[in-house]
Amino acid sequence: MAERPDTPIETLDEAAARAELVELAERIRAADLAYHRDDAPEISDADYDRLKRRNRAIEARFPHLRLADSPSDTVGAAPAEGFAKVVHARRMLSLGNAFSEDDVREFVAGIRKFLGLNESDALAFTAEPKIDGLSLSLRYEGGELKTAATRGDGSVGENVTANARTIDEIPVRIDGAPEILEVRGEVYMSHADFGALNDRQVESGGKTFANPRNAAAGSLRQLDAAITAARPLRFFAYAWGETSEPLAETQLAALDRLKGFGFAVNDRTSLCRSAGAMLEQYREIEQNRAELGYDIDGVVYKVDDLGLQARLGFRSTTPRWAIAHKFPAELAWTRLEAIDIQVGRTGALSPVARLKPVTVGGVVVSNATLHNEDYIAGRDSSGAQIRGGRDIREGDWVQVYRAGDVIPKVADVDLARRPETATPYVFPEICPRCGSDAIREPGDSVRRCTGGLICPAQAVERLKHFVSRAAFDIEGLGAKQVERFYFLGWIREPADIFSLESRDREGAKRLRPAEDLLASARREGEEGETAREAFADILGLDSFDHEAAIRQLDDLGRHPLAGQLGWGEKSAANLFAAIRDKQRIPLDRLVFSLGIRHIGEAAAKLLARAFGTWDALIEAVDAAAQDPAAYGDFLAIGGVGQVMATSLVTTLTQVEERASIDRLVAHLDIQAVAAPSGASTALTGKTVVFTGNLETMTRAEAKARAEAMGAKVAGSVSKRTDLVVAGPGAGSKAAKARDLGIETIDEDGWRALIGQA
């Protein structure tokens, strides 16, 4: 295929970007197969890198267009070849490890011996948390950040300067520093930021990270700094490389100077004057580990006196003056008290281990995931044995591990400690929440409840999804409130959210007289006496009882929010206003909010853009349910595959589901999504089908051009088709177009239409 020059990213419009992402994904996938599977590379490494770089750059500018199976996700980090190399002026070294208290005592004794110190000679060490991130060297010349480099092999690292400049905690200018100063430290991500990033990744259909360290590494090693800029990275300075003049006389004072230049240094750093004090500090840091808000994997001890450090020098890859005292692996054994089944939004039954609480890596763990029924049974999804085929049973003694901030997992089981009474776990085949059948489709490792909306677990999870940030995002109506409102019976399905206010007003109207009476009943005197009688009478109570009266009021089906929840009138009014505000909703948000399996935020956007309006989308869904050929309308959308299309069509044509969605839609003012190109063209709003061969451009390019001009490109001809472009070899589609009387043009006509004749 002839190369066309790349359109500058800044001038790409959405349609062109979307088309190019699809094309790039195809080309990268083909190149991967040729290289890895066929051992027969079809393009040079440089060209391959260029494709990946362009893909990332387009994704960074249009994150919502990122494909669910983006090639950016196929390799964890960008290929190292993509970064320029930096030769470190001073090697970036690693640290020796200590795993026990004895190791630490030996380290101290060894240093004393090396330096020839007497028992009575003072020797101080700093003790500071060992941050679990990735190390970075920042070179400042004349106070300006010149280069930022990863460690690489210690001698040569990768130049990530543009990326480092986007990190708030890395100053680009520092005052009062030596002419040359290399500051070294750790790039990391806090637990909170890591959680939020993964949530965003889930919402946007992107890849999630296993732990904060991976997230930090993946975010820093991006060929496009725009991606790094969008990631919440932080930096602790703890060391230095080349300096044109000494920073200080001690480690602690040097850290103070770094702090003075504007760097974050760890405030848990302390000075210890003996091995005993070092170990005490270790225990203190380990105990507080969970409260730090970021991952650490040990404590680093460094000789404080920089003169002594210089004397001690280095072994081949580690300094003699420092050591990392590692925390024990984050593993623990405990009793598996029970296996509970949680039911998610799509009905997935997830087994959760309820554990006798145990500390794993400084965090008390009482729940852990057991993945799925195969995992419990001791096999993987292909039926092969895991854990030597040992199954997991309630009552078992199990090994739990915590990797970073992710959900703890049950890793192993001790058969020697299995109670005699323990029986193999029988995974439920009916939903524990609603009693519907829970079935496992062939090829699916997950068993799912078939109860749909009648299942309270699914209903609540779906409501939570419905109000989530990327969906309706109703201020004041978060996961907690939705759950509460569901169990109060006020909101059972999304449509109920939008009638909450009118029902609240009705309820208030009904209750006001009774509440007035209740108020008078509470007053002393004759008036109160009469009111009490009247009140008891109305509510059918034998005699007036304040508590019972309140209960009765609640049972009257009232839900004036302010009264029921202890909310002020104002909070209720705010909530209603926030709900009203979201009655006008963009089509893509609506589609995403429905929580249809496989339809994430990105797919919802693709669908919304392709169909423009809710009616057009539903019409296509119904058509596909009638005639499988009409699936072509979905499959023609770049980024929408068979699995997504089938899920969409089956969900939206289920009778109760559809009725519930119709009830919702009746409350909404759905904003149509404008044709991508903005300005109207000859193709705006038209549905185009390409058939046969095109000789002067690829199908992908033709499609991109059509979409850039506001057309929707479909895969099959139907009465909704506006134009067919038929090249040589066109067959049944061209014939069908003729039968239906649809305008058909050849490639020359097409080129004329797009202004390339």
Minimum distance of ligand IVH from residue 98's CB (angstroms): 11
In the bound state with ligand IVH, the residue whose beta carbon lies nearer, of 322 and 470, is 322
Q: How far is 136 from 158, CA to CA, in rounded Å?
A: 10
Burial class of 527 by CB neighbour count within 10 A (0 to 12, 13 to 18, 19+):
exposed
Q: Classify residue 34 by its DSSP letter.
A: I
* Locus of tokens 């920042």: 138
Minimum distance of ligand IVH from residue 91's CB (angstroms): 9
Minimum distance of ligand IVH from residue 326's CB (angstroms): 9
Minimum distance of ligand IVH from residue 262's CB (angstroms): 18
In the bound state with ligand IVH, the residue whose beta carbon lies nearer, of 187 and 514, is 187
* Locus of tokens 């948390």: 129
In the bound state with ligand IVH, the residue whose beta carbon lies nearer, of 93 and 726, is 93
What angle is formed at CA 450 by the lines to CA 444 and CA 451, rounded to 5 degrees?
Answer: 150
- The residues assigned a catalytic role are 130
Q: Do residues 145 and 173 make contact, with C-beta atoms less than 8 angstroms apart?
A: yes
In the bound state with ligand IVH, the residue whose beta carbon lies nearer, of 91 and 354, is 91
Sign of CA dihedral 199, 205, 211, 213: negative
Q: Classify residue 317 by its DSSP letter.
A: S
Minimum distance of ligand IVH from residue 126's CB (angstroms): 9
In the bound state with ligand IVH, the residue whose beta carbon lies nearer, of 197 and 322, is 322
* Locus of tokens 């569901």: 486
Residue whose beta carbon is closest to ligand IVH: 135
Q: In this structure, which long-range contacts are made by residues 361-366, counting pairs with CB atoms below 8 Å and at least 24 apart in sequence?
A: 361/289, 361/327, 361/330, 361/402, 362/286, 362/287, 362/288, 362/289, 362/290, 362/327, 363/289, 363/290, 363/402, 365/332, 365/334, 365/400, 365/402, 365/408
Minimum distance of ligand IVH from residue 131's CB (angstroms): 4
What letter represents residue 683's amino acid? L
Minimum distance of ligand IVH from residue 359's CB (angstroms): 23
Q: How far is 319 from 336, CA to CA, in rounded Å?
A: 44
In the bound state with ligand IVH, the residue whose beta carbon lies nearer, of 269 and 651, is 269
Radius of gyration (Cα) for the chain, nearest Å? 32
Burial class of 239 by CB neighbour count within 10 A (0 to 12, 13 to 18, 19+):
buried
Q: For 565, phi and psi rounded to 5 degrees?
A: -100, 5
Residues engaged in binding ligand IVH (CB under 6 A): 93-95, 128, 130-131, 135, 186, 238-239, 300, 319, 322, 324
Q: How far is 621 from 645, CA to CA, in rounded Å?
A: 9
